[in-house]
Amino acid sequence: MTSARTSRSRLFLGRLWFVVALCSLTHGESTPALQNHPSHPGLPVRADLMDGSSLQFRSLARNANLTAARGGGAAVVAVPDSQLNASYGTFKVWRIDETTFNFKVFNRQFVSVGGDGSVVATAAAPGAAETFKIVRNAGDKNRVRIRAPNGRFLHVKRDYSVVADHGESTSWSEDDPSVFAMTNVGDMHGEFQICNGYGTAKAAPVLRNHWNTFIVEEDFKFIASNGLNAVRIPVGWWIASDPNPPAPFVGGSLDALDKAFKWAEKYKLWVIIDLHAAPGSQNGYEHSASRDGSQEWGTNDTSIAQTVQVIDFLASRYAASPSLLAMGLMNEPMAPGVTLDSLVKYYKAGYAAARRHTTKAYVVMSTRLAGDSGELLSFFGGGLPGAVIDVHYYVFNNTFTNMTARQNIDFIENNYAADLRGLTTRNGPLSFVGEWVAVWNVQNATKAEYQRLAQVQMEVYGRATFGWAYWTLKNVNNYWSMEWMIKNGYISLKRH
């Protein structure tokens, strides 16, 4: 280990949510209320039928559910409950406006209407023939009719076929075969949903207000005064096009990142820039700006090249800052959608792009979700100076549902510790626990147990040669907020 590497090893990092706004959607009209998902600090947005919302439609007259036969590539039909495949009977929306949508099916085709009124799910991309309006009953917004592009309404016939041939007239009764009970079985709560849901004119002031108020200079002072020495700042790929990013995103995130660097320099903090959202989405989650849960990154060379350009832009812009500690090439790519070959190809090119502008900054490369955390070691070897492998360790997923407090602690001290040891090699890259949080599934845990959970994780993850980062600095859910945990005596960092 070189002296430069030694001087920057064992970093204790406070995770900072600053640039990419990941949030929950909530119902509301002109001034929606604020709500939050535990991992996503919140913004006010309309929760009703945003991009990626998953809808199911049940014909009340036929007592049957709309479904894409074979999951797509064939007709849209209606089937009784006993024959329903829930995945095939779920339609993800692409929002055009508050009432107008495209419907995407399981196999990624879009629902269309033919000239004869037939309803099929065969289109590879949406157009005029794939554009529908959801007309809602005034007294029950979940009782709906679906107006097709031909101006007629979808209608379930007695043989369970579906056609777009019903007229305007309806009593909204359960006898009308064009009336459906609509159920929303899932929403997505990311920056794409905010920007496309609001529209540019409304989204811009909402996001800029968030960037100007959610994290401020005083937070950097708090970070520095509590034994933390760096911040990990997530960004989206469109930041490289600021102030005029491609639709639906709005400008302003680059200015927020510039401010963060100024504050970091003032309070002698390091900055890790982490690419949280790659073009096409590297994991299908809302925090990677997926429109509908699809994962498209890395399926072609274009998305890889575009992502390399983003790294080149960011490294060039901040290489001269004394606070630039590391460039994170990509957060949480998901296997098997992101293949190891495509990821290695990108990491090599992204590393080279960062090195064109800085030889001092570390280059952080995340392991794949649902992959082997050690799979990248054979690629790294000892040939990439300043390389860092990033792993994320959590204890609140389904694996830990029935575990006691003691069993959670044992898992961290045994399983996660062993995994971390396997990543820490003499001549290989540094190891980094890039995300963790003192949150678990243990019900009615005491303060002392939460303190123990946090302390054990800091001890174990502190063995990583590049340190750790807590998710996140601020959150309305107390244990997810490092600020709250510190202020209320659950975490103490000054002695580390």
Return the active site residues: 332, 435
Pair of tokens at residue 406: 């003691």
- How many alpha carbons fall within 13 Å on the CB side of residue 320? 3
Residue 309 CA to residue 240 CA, distance in Å, equals: 8
* AA identity, residue 292: D
Nearest to 203 by CA among 255, 234, 249, 257: 249
DSSP collapsed to 3 states, the chain: CCHHHHHCCCCEEEECCCCCCCCCCECCCCCCCCCCECCECCCCCECCCCCCCEEEEEECCCCEEEEEHHHCCEEEEEECHHHCCCCCCCEEEEECCCCEEEEECCCCCEEEECCCCEEEEEECCCCHHHCEEEEECCCCCCEEEEECCCCCEEEECCCCEEEEEECCCCCCCCCCCCCEEEEEEECCCCHHHHHHHHCHHHHHHHHHHHHHHCCCHHHHHHHHHCCCCEEEEEEEHHHHHCCCCCCCCCCCHHHHHHHHHHHHHHCCCEEEEEEEECCCCCCCCHHHCCCCCCCCCCCCHHHHHHHHHHHHHHHHHHCCCCCEEEEECCCCCECCCCCHHHHHHHHHHHHHHHHCCCCCCEEEEECCECCCCCCCHHHHCCCCCCEEEEEECCECCHHHCCCCHHHHHHHHHHHHHHHHHHHCCCCCCEEEEEEECCCECCCCCCHHHHHHHHHHHHHHHCCCCCEEEECCCCCCCHHHCHHHHHHCCCCCCCCC
Residue 460 CA to residue 158 CA, distance in Å, equals: 63
User: How much is the CA Rg of the chain, to the nearest whole Å?
Assistant: 25
